[in-house]
Amino acid sequence: MAYQVTGKNDTRSGFGVGLLELGRKNPQVVGLCADLIPSLKMEAFQNEFPERFFEAGIAEANMMSVAAGLATAGFIPFTGTFANFSTGRVYDQIRQSIAYSQKNVKICASHAGITLGEDGATHQILEDIGLMRMLPGMTVVVPCDYNQTRLATLAIAGIQGPVYLRFGRPKVEIFTPAEDPDFQIGKAQILAEGTDVTVFACGHLVWEALKASEILKEKGISAEIINLHTIKPLDEAAILRSVSKTGCLVTAEEHNVLGGMGDAVANVLSRNLPSPQEYVGTKDTFGESGTPEQLMVKYGLTANDIVSAAEKAMSRKK
Amino acid sequence: MTTAELSSISSQVRRDILRMTNGAKSGHPGGSLGCADLLTCLYFKVMKHNPDFSMEGRNEDVFFLSNGHISPVWYSVLARSGYFPVSELATFRKIDSRLQGHPATMEHLPGVRVASGSLGQGLSVAVGYALGKKIHKDDRAVFCLCGDGEMNEGQIWEAALFAAHQKADNLIAFTDRNFLQIDGSTEDVMALGNLGEKWKAFGWEVLETDGNDMAQLEETISKALSFKGKGKPVMVIMKTIMGKGVDFMENNHHWHGNAPSDEQLAKALTQLDETLGDY
């Protein structure tokens, strides 16, 4: 196996550590947060670089446009708030002041998806990947664990232009290496090779996909597991290479099945290599309160759901 | 530059605004005419700026237009200051132009640093840019113009709180107080009341001026600049007349977003001296 579990931590902590490292390396990096500094793990950056950190208060619209202004002055602003307030609440600010204006702003979003848990549907955005990937010029990155979130935070500082970085709240398995030469923005990662079905996953669902591959193996099914951490720009070549080998696929994401990573993959395949595809994701619904584990089960986002989807996709192969 | 020379430039700017909107058969002449004196004063007298445009604008005074719909006045002043050829004004709102209906950066029009048009965002951008200048220890000023109708937007008041809290004292904002917006009087649509008192209450230094009196504008901006570095952002409530300079357009909100016909243009141009040569 190309992966090994080395512990458990939340992806947002990977962001906090990465941001601090960036602050030390790059004086152009500035931080902004909308009254969620501990939740975003931005305290360390704030403490070490108070002159490069702005508490924006509970005023996300202003924060996004202020970030655009800081970028205009030559800085690389990293904004931090929950995914809901990073996207849906401020869509027009991102659209006009950041994306259309081609500003070098990094929109860093924690507590994404249903695993935010007990706070419920008001805070569990399941539409943000779709919203962000529709914006021309936006890079969309959804890393899978603590280590990868740290690496992604470091990497996006080097991308000229707006980036949406999505991560989460619960502590989850760490299975990618601390330093990973195989991790590059825009390049899909093959975590397990297989021949019967490809599972494309992002974020918290990558670990579920790896667990699913073990269950499938016991059933005699060889699944290729691909971490599609960059949803835009999409690694089309990797998608086509894998599906031309396996002939069917599952997409797995902590997001609405409408508009997310699964649809991004379907778009590539429908134009180039139409193939049986099953979606693992929330089924055009809002979430609700509960523990992350309960919600993952109730909304069909577990390894078992990926196994069922893989079997169904395989059954549809001609 | 003398006050008379500035007024002579703003007369040409007004001709440009009318000819551009007429040529495009669309656009926003009313607010543009009202703000012609301010932008002329800023670009031809007050601001230290470089028409050899750099996005970062380091060690320059920088202007942001938050109420992007009055792009004609900005484009005219930018062209007349040498940012791009004056002849390009003829392309306003036309296909393949750098002069988009609302200001944009995608086409790389020199002078524009951020897109504006969806209201309420430009002031926040200007605040962020001003804070960036402070980190760079660049002591030039940041100017921003907002419409009074734009004050309906909640984000304006987020920026008001934030700028005061951050002591953005290198920022001088203007409100184009012409009392008119698309649906009528600002006081009938959603009353703004005493705007000056509101900005004061938010922690800003507030000045008031007649935005169509060049000498008064020069004096007020000079006073505003004297507050730079004193701990507070400045808001200049600038009374203007929508459609200023054309008798049949003045104080009529129809001219917020309607272009003059050929006949109306001809009539309007007789009221404004061609001082720098039409494009």
pLDDT, one tens digit per residue, over A202-253 is 999 999 999 999 999 999 999 999 999 999 999 999 999 999 999 999 999 9
Catalytic annotation, pick one of A43, A51, A55, A60 = A60
Mean pLDDT of A98-108: 98
Chain A residues in contact with chain B using a Cβ-Cβ cutoff of 8 Å: 30, 51-52, 54, 56-57, 59, 61-62, 64-75, 77, 92-93, 95-97, 100-103
Domain limits, CATH 3.40.50.920, in chain A: 189-315
- The correct answer on CATH 3.40.50.920 for the domain covering A189-315 is yes
Alpha-carbon separation of residue A113 from A94, A229, A281, B209, B236 (angstroms)? 20, 15, 10, 51, 44
Residue A60 among the catalytic residues: yes
Task: Please give the ipTM for the structure prediction.
Answer: 0.97
How close, in Å, is residue A62 to chain B by CA atoms?
Answer: 6
User: What are phi and psi for residue B61, nearest 5 degrees?
Assistant: -80, 140
| Residue of B54, B125, B142 to mutate, testing the A interface (most A Cβ within 10 Å of its Cβ) | B125
Is the pLDDT reported for residue A69 higher than 60?
yes
Is the pLDDT reported for residue A60 higher than 50?
yes
A124 three-state secondary structure: coil
Contact present, B18 and B255 (Cβ < 8 Å): no
Question: How far apart, in whole angstroms, are the C-alpha atoms of residue B139 and residue B136?
Answer: 9
Residue of A nearest to B166 (CA): A54
Kindly list the residues from chain A whose CB atom is less than 8 angstroms away from the CB atom of residue B56. 72-74
Mean pLDDT of B125-140: 98
Is the pLDDT reported for residue B270 higher than 90?
yes
Domain map (residue ranges) of chain B: 3-269
Q: Out of A51, A65, A95, whose CB is closest to B125? A: A65
Other beta carbons within 10 Å of A318: 5
Q: Given this model, what pLDDT does residue B197 score?
A: 98
Kindly list the residues from chain B whose CB atom is less than 8 angstroms away from the CB atom of residue A73. 56-57, 128-129, 132-133, 135-136
How close, in Å, is residue B133 to chain A by CA atoms?
Answer: 7
**CA torsion sign, A101 to A102 to A106 to A112?**
positive
Is the pLDDT reported for residue A1 higher than 60?
no
Kindly list the residues from chain B whose CB atom is less than 8 angstroms away from the CB atom of residue A35. none
Question: How far apart, in whole angstroms, are the C-alpha atoms of residue A206 and residue A227?
Answer: 6
Q: Out of B57, B114, B166, whose CB is closest to A101? A: B114
Q: Which residue has the tokens 């004063």?
A: B41
The contacts of residue A275 (CB under 8 Å, 6+ apart) are A243, A247, A248, A249, A269
Q: Out of B105, B115, B125, whose CB is closest to A69? A: B125
pLDDT, one tens digit per residue, over A14-29 is 999 999 999 999 999 9
Q: Given this model, what pLDDT does residue B181 score?
A: 95
A82 three-state secondary structure: strand
CATH annotation of A9-174: 3.40.50.970
Q: Given this model, what pLDDT does residue A2 score?
A: 58
Q: What percent of chain B has pLDDT over 90?
A: 100
What is the architecture of the domain spanning B3-269?
Answer: 3-Layer(aba) Sandwich (3.40)
Contact at CB, B125 and A57, closer than 8 angstroms: no
Contact at CB, A69 and B159, closer than 8 angstroms: no
Other beta carbons within 10 Å of A4: 9
Is the pLDDT reported for residue A259 higher than 80?
yes
pTM for this entry: 0.97
Residue of A nearest to B121 (CA): A65
Domain limits, CATH 3.40.50.970, in chain A: 9-174
| Residue of A72, A78, A92, A93 to mutate, testing the B interface (most B Cβ within 10 Å of its Cβ) | A72
Q: Which residues of chain B from 170 to 199 reach within 8 Å of chain A, CB to CB?
A: none
pLDDT, one tens digit per residue, over A131-140 is 999 999 999 9
Contact present, A309 and A280 (Cβ < 8 Å): yes
Residue of A nearest to B131 (CA): A70
Alpha-carbon separation of residue B88 from A251, B64, B72 (angstroms)? 50, 21, 12
Q: What percent of chain A has pLDDT over 70?
A: 99
